[in-house]
Chain A
Amino acid sequence: MNSALPLSQMPVGHKARVVTLMLDGFSRRRILDMGLIPGTVVEVLRRSPLGDPTAYRIRGSVIGLRKEEASRIIVENQ
């Protein structure tokens, strides 16, 4: 079984699938607008030296997320 964890804890190079967003209001909207809807596959590309922000690949494009945001996106390991 795959276990659920926050996207912020996924190691670089790994792929994960979005399970749920622990966000609401406009911050939820913003994440959805980036294409991070449940079921989407996300690849962790690289972390900046201080660990924040991190670059992710979704649907062929690269986005940057702060740790705070990524910690509220629950994913399962692919």
Chain B
Amino acid sequence: MGDVCHTCTACGITKARSLRTQYNVHKNSENDLVIALAGNPNVGKSTIFNTLTGLRQHTGNWPGKTVTQAQGNFQHRGRNFILVDLPGTYSLLSNSLDEEVARDFICFGQPDATIVVVDATCLARNLNLVLQVLEITPKAVLSVNLMDEAKSKGIHVDLDTLSRKLGVPVVGTTARTGAGLDELKEKVFQIAHGYEETKPISVVYDPEVDEVVQQLLPKVRPLLYGLNLNPYWVAMRLLDGDESFLQSLTRYTQRGELWQEGDMALCPQ
């Protein structure tokens, strides 16, 4: 090991460096906040992205992947936010290239908050991804988009009840006109700073599954030290035999050696 701690993302230098090299995310200042934009295909993610970032954006590819990456900046209350548009997916678990990119950024890019955009005209289908994101991170805000379409179809979305049930802020938006985007920025500001606490709904698994997960947890927790990643969810992926996730875990956290050593002796803190 060199003099930089690779095992602890509590260390700002390591975190900034890994964001830059692994995802091409460039922070101009330590105070910049990184926000991921996730959602099903065709729900208006890019429209929200374009409206929020205007011309301050950059597109390229995800490092090492043939998947397009768009990044841009917006300011709110004197803070700079780096918005990262993720590929549209229905899930983070079926291992398509798009899903791997989205999953890895939410898990290992350690965004300060994740916006999940959903389609107000077919909420049920979209909630699958929402639950998956909320299992990984509590720092999420829901943007219920296409509110204009929903209205013209006579669909009423009870945003308050949805927010109460999911345990995270919910904002109604119409990206096409920009309606709701100011409120969305404000919620993102609150969540990214931790000013507003969330309490995401937790998925309850069968007792047999839970019992096995409980056995894995003591081994999983130390591996995630300094990473804001739900150990229960990681244990579920191990039970799934999700090779792709395991590879990413090893690659992005550079903790491969720890699987053998099984301790945190490498961390100076």
Contacts and interface: CB of A to CB of B under 8 A. Distances in A.
Tell me what chain A mostly uses at the interface: helix, strand, loop, or mixed: mixed
A5 B130 CA distance: 32
A66 interface: no
A29 B240 CA distance: 11
B124 A35 contact: yes
Interface string A56-78: 00111100000000000000000
A6 to B, nearest CB: 21
B4 interface: no
B122 A33 contact: no
B128 A35 contact: yes
B91 A35 contact: no
Contacts of A58: 125
Contacts of A34: 90, 125
Interface residues of A, number: 10
Interface in B51-95: 90-91, 93-95
Nearest to B99: A33
A61 to B, nearest CB: 5
Nearest to B89: A33
Interface residues of B, number: 10
B121 interface: yes
A61 B42 CA distance: 12
B124 A33 contact: no
Nearest to B91: A33
Contacts of B128: 33, 35
A40 to B, nearest CB: 10
B122 A61 contact: yes
Nearest to B40: A61
Contacts of B94: 26, 29-30, 33
B91 A30 contact: yes
Contacts of A35: 124-125, 128
Nearest to B132: A33
Interface string B141-155: 000000000000000
Contacts of B95: 26
A39 B124 CA distance: 14
Interface in A1-33: 26, 29-30, 33
A30 B121 CA distance: 22
Interface in B83-138: 90-91, 93-95, 121-122, 124-125, 128
A60 B93 contact: no
B124 A59 contact: yes
B91 A61 contact: no
B125 A61 contact: yes
A10 to B, nearest CB: 20
B125 to A, nearest CB: 5
5 contacts: A29-B94, A30-B94, A35-B124, A35-B125, A60-B124
Given A29-B91, A33-B93, A35-B128, 13 more contacts: A26-B94, A26-B95, A33-B94, A33-B128, A34-B90, A34-B125, A35-B124, A35-B125, A58-B125, A59-B122, A59-B125, A60-B121, A60-B122
Shortest beta-carbon contacts, A-B, top 6: A33-B91, A60-B122, A30-B94, A29-B94, A33-B90, A35-B125
